[in-house]
């Protein structure tokens, strides 16, 4: 078993997660079984309780773990299935250690960062290695070298490498080489200092992945090689990619990063076969068709809040050889300016998930616009609840229709809490979370798109469609095309006679990959493409 550790230097947001994921792609395509894991040094037990403003999207796994959005990259780039074992925060480490202490596991010893905290971190690498049966475990250490809270993780991987023996571990440092305009030069000093900081703790990277805006010339590569003690060919240049993050595996391959990693780890084997990946990139760079999709949401200003949704829309495009231009629209702007101005000219409209009252009326107007003007509509979680409220208000004439999340006293609560949820007062991990089966109605659009009568999709929500109104909706023409196997929970709704009006209580965006576009996203983009031929609304 081999282990790769990825650390980050100089600044955050350098794409360590993407580097881990892209390296995973290459190693898989060399024939290795890969597992990828993220360590997050913050003290939250998981990011589930963090605001999207703080942390971007919460990425949900099959087993209901609420994780960092980097795990989304891991799943999209590779074929590994992740579980809560693939995500570890300082909060979880300390929680375990403190529980152990209370239970007397440490037999009266003084409980310390070294060895108790570091042992727990190492244990989690071993557990993943054993459970995943992977040939190679890639561990990304979140944060930046020099952060106080990251130290136990760095110490733990140092010890781990010592125990694993030479040739079994490979350390990769992702760093930033800034371009200073006034000097007209790239500067390597921050990188040198970041590596010096790593060395203080006893870690020496074997590969330097250098993020930069301009090409790294030979001289700079030699300088980094000399100061950071890596062979010059192990200085990897990663400029900002031109078109898509999915180019990254090909960039790393061109720089022979996977080759070097395999050499460090004494792994033989043929080069990665990336033909299918090149075809994906071709479709991204020069697609045959193009559509414009509006994503109308609550957290539009944030780059990462709907990460998986944006990616899944692009995958839906790949599935149709179609470029997807995403127009981000703030729900509150629809409230101020009305839907026509913002939504006219779109070939499809998607409302993703969200929590809380702000912007809800704008979302309802958006769903109404899509329904009445026959613009393809795809609702995800909150997007399904919104479509339901809109249908109730404007088709069924239930003027007070609402969700009790936004209007607890409404007399027409078409979306409400289940009894089991009503008693919950804790915040973390208490939603309906993770993959659950869904039965699809014969003859429905959903069943046609899936090409199956069962789906298994991930959830993250508290509120549900209120079954007291099911018959009324059905009489009004709405089809409940996906239900939980016991028939009690509404999972998918659709509107026959509309080019594409479909919404799900689950989050299909978490299961889409560039090489396996999710069928609902693929179907939505196909409908938008059709719409682009008819002409926009
Ligand atoms: N706020 C809604 C609920 O909790 C929708 C959640 C979501 O969109 N993820 O049910």
Residue 423: pLDDT over 80? no
Pair 310, 188 in one domain: no
Pair 267, 304 in one domain: no
Of the residues 66, 385, 464, 508, which should be mutated to test ligand 1's pocket, given the most ligand atoms within 8 Å of the CB?
Answer: 385
CA 72 remoteness from chain centre: 3
Q: How confident is the model at residue 12 (pLDDT cuts 50, 70, 90)?
A: confident
- Per-residue confidence (pLDDT) for residue 301, from 0 to 100: 79
Q: How confident is the model at residue 429 (pLDDT cuts 50, 70, 90)?
A: low
Residues 65-115: tens digit of each pLDDT: 999 899 999 999 999 989 999 999 999 999 999 999 999 999 989 999 999
Q: 441 with 482: CB under 8 angstroms? A: yes
Q: How many domains does the chain have?
A: 2
CA of 120 to the centre of ligand 1 (A): 34
Pair 339, 252 in one domain: no
Pair 198, 218 in one domain: yes
Q: C-alpha angle with apex 380: 72 to 327, nearest 5 degrees?
A: 80
Pair 266, 304 in one domain: no
The residue whose C-alpha atom lies closest to atom 7 belonging to ligand 1 is 353
Tokens, residue 318:
């790949």
The CATH number linked to 458 is: 3.40.50.880
Q: Is residue 283 part of a domain?
A: no
User: Facing residues of 208 across strands?
Assistant: 173, 235
Pair 505, 429 in one domain: yes
Q: Is residue 59 part of a domain?
A: yes
Residues 291-315: tens digit of each pLDDT: 999 999 988 877 788 999 999 999 9
Query: Secondary structure of the chain: what % helix, strand, coil (to 5)?
Result: 40, 20, 35
Residues 167-192: tens digit of each pLDDT: 999 999 999 999 999 999 999 999 99
Pair 233, 323 in one domain: no
For residues 261-290, one letter each, b for 16 or more C-beta atoms within 10 angstroms of the residue's C-beta and e for the rest, the string is bbbbbebeeeebebeebeebbebbeebeee
Q: 166 with 204: CB under 8 angstroms? A: no
The residue whose C-alpha atom lies closest to atom 5 belonging to ligand 1 is 382
Pair 348, 465 in one domain: yes
Q: Is residue 284 part of a domain?
A: no
Residues 366-417: tens digit of each pLDDT: 999 999 999 999 999 999 999 999 999 999 999 999 999 999 999 999 999 9
Pair 127, 248 in one domain: yes
Catalytic annotation, residues:
381, 507, 509
Query: Which is the closest atom of ligand 1 to the Cα of 380?
Result: 8
Residue 536: pLDDT over 60? no
- Per-residue confidence (pLDDT) for residue 177, from 0 to 100: 96
- Per-residue confidence (pLDDT) for residue 13, from 0 to 100: 83
- Per-residue confidence (pLDDT) for residue 172, from 0 to 100: 97
> Which residues' Cβ are closer than 6 Å to ligand 1?
353-355, 381-382, 405, 460-463
Residue 274: pLDDT over 60? yes
What residues have CB less than 8 Å from 278, skipping those under 6 apart?
Answer: 250
CA of 337 to the centre of ligand 1 (A): 25
The CATH number linked to 45 is: 3.40.50.300
Query: Which is the closest atom of ligand 1 to the Cα of 463?
Result: 10
Residue 344: pLDDT over 70? yes
CA of 354 to the centre of ligand 1 (A): 6
CA of 278 to the centre of ligand 1 (A): 37
Q: How many CB atoms lie within 10 A of CB 321?
A: 13
The residue whose C-alpha atom lies closest to atom 1 belonging to ligand 1 is 355
- Per-residue confidence (pLDDT) for residue 299, from 0 to 100: 83
What integer best gives the mean pLDDT of the chain?
A: 93
Pair 161, 197 in one domain: yes
Of the residues 60, 295, 354, which should be mutated to test ligand 1's pocket, given the most ligand atoms within 8 Å of the CB?
Answer: 354
Residue that is last in its domain, among 278, 305, 335? 278
What is residue 146's three-state secondary structure?
Answer: coil
| Rounded distance between C-alpha atoms, residue 492 and residue 481, angstroms | 5
Pair 273, 295 in one domain: no
Residue that is last in its domain, among 278, 300, 319? 278
CA of 280 to the centre of ligand 1 (A): 32
Pair 91, 40 in one domain: yes
CA of 250 to the centre of ligand 1 (A): 37
| Rounded distance between C-alpha atoms, residue 157 and residue 163, angstroms | 10
Count Cα neighbours of 460 within 13 Å in the Cβ-side half-sphere. 26
Residue that is last in its domain, among 278, 297, 314? 278
Name the residue range of residue 144's domain: 2-278
């Amino acid at each position: 078993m081999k282990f790769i550790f990825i650390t980050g230097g100089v600044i955050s947001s350098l794409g360590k997660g993407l580097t881990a994921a892209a390296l995973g792609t290459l190693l898989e395509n060399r024939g290795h079984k890969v597992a990828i894991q993220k360590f997050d040094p913050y003290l939250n037990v998981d990011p589930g309780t963090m605001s999207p403003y703080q942390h971007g999207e919460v990425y949900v796994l099959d087993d209901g773990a609420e994780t960092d959005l980097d795990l989304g990259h891991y799943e999209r780039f590779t074929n590994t299935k992740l579980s809560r074992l693939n995500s570890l925060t300082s909060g979880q480490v300390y929680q375990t250690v403190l529980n152990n202490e209370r239970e007397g596991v440490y037999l009266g010893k003084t409980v310390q960062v070294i060895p108790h905290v570091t042992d727990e971190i190492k244990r989690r690498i071993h557990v993943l290695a054993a459970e995943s049966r992977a040939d190679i475990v890639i561990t990304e250490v979140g944060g930046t070298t020099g952060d106080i809270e990251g130290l136990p993780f760095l110490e733990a991987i140092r010890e781990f490498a010592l125990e694993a023996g030479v040739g079994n571990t490979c350390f990769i440092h992702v760093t930033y080489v800034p371009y200073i305009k006034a000097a007209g030069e790239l500067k390597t000093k921050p990188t040198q200092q970041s590596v010096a900081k790593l060395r203080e703790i006893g870690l020496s990277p074997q590969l330097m992945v250098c993020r930069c805006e301009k090409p790294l010339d030979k001289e700079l590569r030699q300088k980094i090689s000399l100061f950071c003690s890596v062979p010059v060919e192990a200085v990897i240049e990663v400029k900002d990619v031109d078109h898509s993050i999915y180019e990254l595996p090909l960039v790393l391959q061109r720089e022979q990063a996977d080759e070097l990693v395999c050499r460090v780890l004494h792994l033989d084997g043929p080069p990665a076969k990336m033909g299918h990946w090149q075809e994906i990139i071709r479709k991204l760079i020069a697609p045959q068709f193009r559509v414009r999709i509006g994503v109308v949401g609550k957290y539009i200003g944030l780059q990462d809040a709907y990460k998986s949704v944006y990616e899944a829309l692009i995958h839906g495009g790949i599935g149709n050889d179609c470029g997807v231009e995403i127009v981000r629209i703030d729900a509150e702007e629809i409230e101020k300016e009305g839907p026509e101005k913002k939504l006219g000219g779109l070939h499809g409209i998607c409302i993703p998930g969200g929590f809380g009252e702000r912007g809800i009326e704008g979302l309802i107007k958006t769903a109404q616009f899509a329904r009445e003007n026959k613009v393809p509509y795809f609702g995800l979680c909150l997007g399904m609840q919104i479509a339901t409220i809109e249908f109730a208000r404007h088709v069924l004439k239930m003027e007070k229709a609402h969700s009790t999340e936004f209007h607890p006293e409404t007399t027409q609560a078409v979306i409400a809490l289940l009894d089991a949820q009503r008693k919950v007062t804790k915040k973390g991990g208490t939603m309906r979370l993770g993959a659950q089966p869904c039965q699809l109605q014969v003859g429905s659009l959903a069943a046609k798109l899936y090409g199956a009568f069962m789906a298994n999709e991930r959830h993250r929500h508290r509120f549900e469609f209120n079954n007291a109104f099911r018959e009324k909706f059905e009489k009004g023409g709405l089809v409940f095309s996906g239900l939980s196997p016991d028939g009690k929970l509404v999972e998918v709704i659709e509107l026959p006679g509309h080019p594409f009006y479909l919404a799900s209580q689950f989050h299909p965006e978490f299961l889409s990959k560039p090489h396996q576009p999710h069928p609902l996203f693929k179907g939505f983009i196909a409908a938008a493409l059709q719409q682009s031929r008819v002409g926009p609304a």
